[in-house]
């Protein structure tokens, strides 16, 4: 334990002696950096953190021989589990447990269960060769279809997190400047899976066209309407392989689909089943009877409703009263209103833009409008639509609607229209730092795949040398930069006069995350054309996502202004890594241990743990400045073996649940000793792996023993720097160019492909 004592030997915090920072200056994290109000980019702030969600007792219904699914759900929620014999025997005393009931027992009283106390999830293994029990399927709140595969655990984690209301994509997506969704047209989604990572680059969601699925029959033909069993399996296969939200669509024959229209109740049955399957977006056509649309709206759970209207007559006119009535009829039962029409003349695109503008001004509280014109004549409208524009891809067997464009085609068209100018985007790295995921080649691949005109360059700076950064930040065509590693905001302002002069001497404009963490790893550029002074900073509207209310940087140009916004993407990389295999609630009210050699290294970890509602943080190896502590959960520093022993002796639910190490790879022995000190203790009814370890040291630089091996032997689920780096790249791309690139594509492009 001598090595552990060495690790604990850092000095305890002292208010009278603030820690020192760069060149002996007062530690940058002991005071607030600037006096501005933080801004929000694309809705990305702590307000986008996980929610507490559904607090009812989760009751898992399992089939014969499938008891293991109950313990796996318990692992995902980090709760103990117990098996019960009926719903009526589950009481308020079972809060804190996951309860499993066999399908045979559940059928007796599932219809009479206390729905205010219990949330019932019917699980069904599709490889058993039979459909789910109809009674259980009808009366459950949600239904989880699965098979044994490498993707099972993470698929389950996303399902549980979404259906219990702990994660939601919608608010952040609607805050983006532009959202796109991939409309798949495969008769069997298996054909899409090998290329899914590439197909979905640039997509914010993926649509499954249920009406285009073709279920083979024993006689060699195909079912007129694919059965729910077949559709459920298709949804399962798609859900396993993508983290993107899914749009569930049953397009009717009158609107260029194949679903028959003679029986509206058929749509009701399929669309409600999609809600039970935990689909994020449900496409409901406006022609359906109002009672069906109302019922689905009232029972939508955490799903979002897209009210869809398509007109193929060629006579639809955007300036007409009928168009306005369509919008008004759509609004009561919609989270998004989608209106699509065939046009005959190019000027009808401008009529649509006037209609779009009118809706924004006259119906400011209405659901977002997604409106495009079909056909080659209407392609201009696809470049102007900002909300869920449907896109295609050259690898798809056919386009879902006439005139549909790919992401690359939309971007090239925007370039030709002058709405997407070429920008210089930089990767700024330290000569001493080598990222766990090589970022430069990946950015270039992404720009090419997305059809973006931007140029990407790598700049290598010397440690503690911040001179010259204004040479590229002050360019007219500067488009932003990522900083690897991130740099203290206060240090940048102290040692670079360009940044210090921004906002009339108040320093850079910061997002909420950058202000709290004190470290910037992403510089976002926003262009403007007015030299009129503006207030130092204003909160940007979460609905606009444009960042238009932020201050202008002084560029030295008399004709242009530019707004530079400092953000931190790394904390989200940490958070998303921690919830890959666990629901966010697994961390709620738990405690954590953070090991680091400086508060700067620990700051993004603190912010991520705050987002996950960690109740207490124990620290090792550094002092926590007051400014950082104000934005973090309660903190206690381990200063001796006795203080460490006290943390080990608390009750299970208060003992450290997650250990995050930001120490260098040469401290692997010390990290391993800390892991052994807090090894998970097995208990009856508890998950098999009930603790988490995240190692932020670059595995490529490891010189000593591997803490990951110790973690796994000690009952920890283990994650590394490559996972965090990949998620951070995803976040940085969203901030810099407003584009979504799947995590799985990042890992694939970096040569580290793992089961998603």
pLDDT in tens, 580-605: 999 999 999 999 999 999 999 999 99
Kindly state whether residues 472 and 499 are assigned to the same domain.
yes
In this structure, the answer to whether residues 129 and 251 fall within a common structural domain is no
Q: Who contacts 597 (Cβ-Cβ below 8 Å, separation ≥6)? A: 621, 622, 662, 663, 664
Give a yes or no: residue 81 inside a domain. yes
CB contact at 8 A, 407 and 202: yes
CATH number for position 62: 3.40.50
pLDDT at 485: 87
- Cis check: omega of the bond before 346, within 30 degrees of 0: no
Residues 159 and 182 in one domain: no
| Alpha helices in 140-201, H assignment, sequence order | 152-163, 170-175, 196-199
Beta-bridge partner residues of 527? 562
| Domain annotation covers residue 37 | no
* Domain end call among 687, 703, 719: 719
**pLDDT higher than 60, residue 531:** no
Where is pLDDT greater, at 214 or 688? 214
Looking at the fold, whether 149 and 79 belong to one and the same domain comes out as yes
User: Highest-confidence range of 37-41, 309-313, 551-555, by mean pLDDT?
Assistant: 309-313
Best CA proximity match to 604, nearest among 537, 515, 669, 690: 515
**Domain boundary residue, one of 163, 188, 211:** 163
Residue 214 domain-assigned? yes
The pLDDT of residue 276 is 98
653 and 708, same domain (yes or no): yes
Q: For the segment 618-629, what is each residue's pLDDT rounded down to a tens digit?
A: 999 999 998 889
CATH code where residue 636 lies = 3.40.50.720
Tell me how far apart the terminal alpha carbons of the chain are, to the nearest angstrom.
38
CA–CA dist 482, 732 (Å, integer): 7
How far is 437 from 72, CA to CA, in rounded Å? 31
In a domain, 220, yes or no: yes
* Torsion angle of the four alpha carbons 503, 508, 509, 511, in this order, in degrees rounded to the nearest 10: -170
Same structural domain, 385 and 254: yes
The distance from CA 705 to its chain's CA centroid, rounded to whole angstroms, is 33
Would you state the pLDDT for residue 4?
57
pLDDT in tens, 425-463: 999 887 666 554 456 677 888 898 899 999 998 888 777
Q: Which residues pair with 518 in a beta bridge?
A: none
Q: Express each pLDDT in 487-517 by its tens digit.
A: 888 888 887 788 888 888 787 899 999 999 9
Instruction: State pLDDT tens for residues 3-48.
Output: 555 556 554 443 333 333 333 334 444 334 344 555 555 444 455 6
In tens, the pLDDT along 262-274 reads 999 999 999 999 9
Give the model's pLDDT for residue 701. 52
Q: How many CB atoms lie within 10 A of CB 171?
A: 12
pLDDT at 223 over 70: yes
According to the model, what pLDDT value does residue 532 have? 32
Residues 355 and 330 reside in one and the same domain:
yes
Residues 6+ apart with CB under 8 A from 89: none
Q: Assess whether 187 and 140 both reside in one domain.
A: no
In whole numbers, what is the pLDDT of the chain averaged over residues? 85
What domain range includes position 128? 57-163
Number of separate domains in the chain:
4
Q: Provide the pLDDT for residue 497.
A: 81
401 & 471 share domain: no
pLDDT at 7: 58
Q: Is residue 543 part of a domain?
A: no
Confidence of residue 689 (pLDDT cuts 50, 70, 90): low
Q: Assign 348 to helix, strand or coil.
A: helix
What is the CATH classification number for the domain harbouring 328? 3.20.20.70
Return the ∠ at Cα 418 (arms to 736 and 539), rounded to 5°. 40
Domain annotation covers residue 295? yes
Handedness of CA 680, 682, 686, 689 (dihedral sign): positive
* Residue range 74-95: mean pLDDT, rounded: 96
Decide if 744 is inside a domain: no
CATH for 507:
3.40.50.10860
Determine the Cα–Cα distance for residues 667 and 679; give it in Å rounded to an integer.
18
d(CA 189, CA 193): 7
CA dist list (Å): 71 to 67, 99, 289: 7, 9, 42
User: Three-class SS of residue 386?
Assistant: coil
Q: Write the Ramachandran bin of 23: left for phi over 0, alpha for psi from -120 to 50, otherwise beta.
A: left
CB within 8 A of 719, min separation 6: which ones?
577, 578, 580, 692, 693, 694, 695
Percent over 90 (pLDDT), the chain: 63
CA trace torsion 129, 133, 134, 137 (10° rounding): -110
Instruction: Say yes or no: 387 and 441 in one domain.
Output: no
For residue 260, the model assigns a pLDDT of 95
- Tens digits of per-residue pLDDT, 124-182? 999 988 899 999 999 999 999 999 999 999 999 999 999 999 999 999 999 999 999 99
Q: Is residue 218 pLDDT above 90, yes or no?
A: yes
Identify whether residues 348 and 430 lie together within a single domain: no
Cβ–Cβ < 8 Å for 285, 309: yes
Q: What is the pLDDT of residue 475?
A: 85
Of 557 and 22, the one with more pLDDT: 557
> Could you tell me if 451 and 393 lie in one domain?
no
Mean pLDDT of 510-537: 71
Residue 501, burial from CB neighbour count under 10 angstroms (0-12, 13-18, 19+) = middle
Model confidence at 544: pLDDT above 70 = no
Residue with tokens 């590439």: 198
């Amino acid at each position: 334990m001598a090595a552990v004592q060495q690790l604990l030997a850092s000095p305890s915090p002292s208010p009278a002696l603030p820690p020192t920072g760069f060149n002996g200056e007062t530690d940058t994290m002991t005071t607030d950096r600037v006096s501005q109000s933080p801004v929000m980019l694309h809705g990305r702030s702590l307000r986008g953190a996980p929610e507490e969600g559904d607090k009812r007792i989760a009751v898992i219904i399992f089939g014969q021989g499938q008891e293991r699914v109950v313990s796996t759900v318990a692992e995902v929620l980090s709760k103990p589990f117990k098996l019960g014999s009926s719903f009526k025997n589950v009481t308020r005393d079972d809060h804190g447990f996951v309860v499993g009931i066999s399908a045979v027992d559940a059928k007796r009283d599932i219809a009479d269960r206390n729905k205010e106390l219990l949330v019932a999830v019917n699980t069904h293994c599709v490889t058993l060769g039979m459909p789910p029990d109809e009674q259980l399927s009808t009366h459950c709140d949600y239904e989880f279809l699965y098979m044994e595969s490498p993707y099972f655990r993470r698929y389950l984690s996303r399902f549980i997190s979404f259906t219990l209301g702990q994660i939601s994509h919608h608010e952040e997506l609607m805050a983006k400047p532009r959202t796109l969704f991939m409309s798949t047209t495969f008769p069997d989604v298996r054909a899409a899976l090998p290329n899914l990572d590439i197909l979905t680059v640039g997509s914010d969601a993926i649509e499954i066209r249920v009406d285009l699925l073709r279920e083979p029959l024993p006689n060699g033909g195909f079912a007129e309407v694919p059965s729910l069993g077949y559709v459920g399996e298709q949804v399962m296969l798609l859900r396993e392989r993508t983290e993107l939200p899914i749009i569930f669509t049953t397009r009717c024959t009158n609107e260029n689909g194949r679903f028959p229209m003679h029986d509206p109740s058929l749509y009701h049955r399929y669309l409600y089943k999609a809600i039970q399957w935990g689909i994020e977006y449900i496409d409901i056509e406006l022609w359906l009877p109002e009672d069906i649309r109302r019922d689905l709206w009232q029972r939508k759970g955490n799903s979002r409703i897209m009210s869809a209207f398509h007109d193929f007559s060629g006579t639809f006119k955007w300036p007409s009263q009928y168009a306005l009535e369509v919008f008004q009829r759509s609004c009561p039962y919609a989270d998004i209103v989608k209106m699509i029409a065939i046009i005959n003349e190019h000027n009808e695109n401008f009529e649509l833009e006037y209609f779009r503008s009118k809706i924004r001004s006259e119906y400011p509280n209405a659901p977002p409008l997604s409106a495009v014109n079909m056909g080659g004549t209407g392609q201009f409208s696809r470049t102007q639509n900002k909300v869920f524009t449907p896109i295609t891809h050259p690898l798809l067997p056919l386009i879902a609607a006439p005139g549909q464009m790919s992401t690359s085609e939309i971007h090239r068209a925007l370039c030709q229209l002058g709405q997407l100018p070429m920008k210089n985007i930089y990767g700024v790295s330290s000569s001493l730092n080598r990222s766990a995921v090589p970022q430069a080649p990946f950015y270039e691949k992404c720009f090419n795949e997305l059809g973006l005109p931007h140029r990407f360059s790598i700049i290598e700076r010397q440690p503690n040398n911040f001179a010259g950064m204004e040479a590229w930040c002050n360019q007219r065509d500067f488009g932003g930069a990522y900083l690897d590693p991130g740099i203290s905001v206060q240090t940048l302002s102290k040692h670079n006069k360009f940044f210090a002069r921004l906002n009339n001497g108040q320093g850079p404009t910061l997002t909420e995350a950058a202000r709290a963490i004190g470290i910037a790893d992403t510089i976002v550029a926003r262009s403007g054309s007015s030299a009129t002074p503006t207030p130092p900073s204003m909160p940007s509207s979460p609905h606009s996502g444009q960042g238009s209310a932020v201050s202008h940087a002084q560029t030295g140009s008399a004709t242009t202004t530019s707004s530079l916004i400092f953000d931190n993407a790394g904390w989200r990389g940490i958070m998303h890594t921690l919830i890959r295999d666990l629901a966010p609630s697994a961390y709620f009210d738990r405690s954590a241990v953070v090991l680091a050699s400086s508060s700067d290294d620990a700051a993004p970890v603190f912010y991520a743990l705050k987002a996950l509602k960690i109740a207490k943080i124990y620290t090792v190896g550094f002092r926590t400045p007051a400014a950082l502590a104000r934005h973090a959960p309660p903190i206690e520093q381990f200063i001796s073996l006795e203080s460490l022993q006290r943390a080990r002796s608390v009750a299970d639910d208060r003992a450290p649940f997650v250990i995050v190490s930001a120490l260098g790879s040469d401290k692997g022995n010390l990290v391993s000793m800390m892991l052994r000190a807090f090894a998970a203790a097995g208990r009856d009814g508890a998950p098999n792996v009930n603790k988490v370890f995240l190692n932020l040291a670059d595995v490529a630089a490891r010189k000593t023993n591997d803490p990951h091996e110790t973690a796994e032997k000690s009952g920890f689920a283990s994650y590394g720097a490559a996972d965090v780096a990949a998620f951070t790249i995803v976040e940085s791309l969203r901030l810099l160019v407003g584009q979504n690139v799947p995590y799985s594509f990042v890992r694939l492009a970096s040569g580290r492909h793992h089961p998603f």
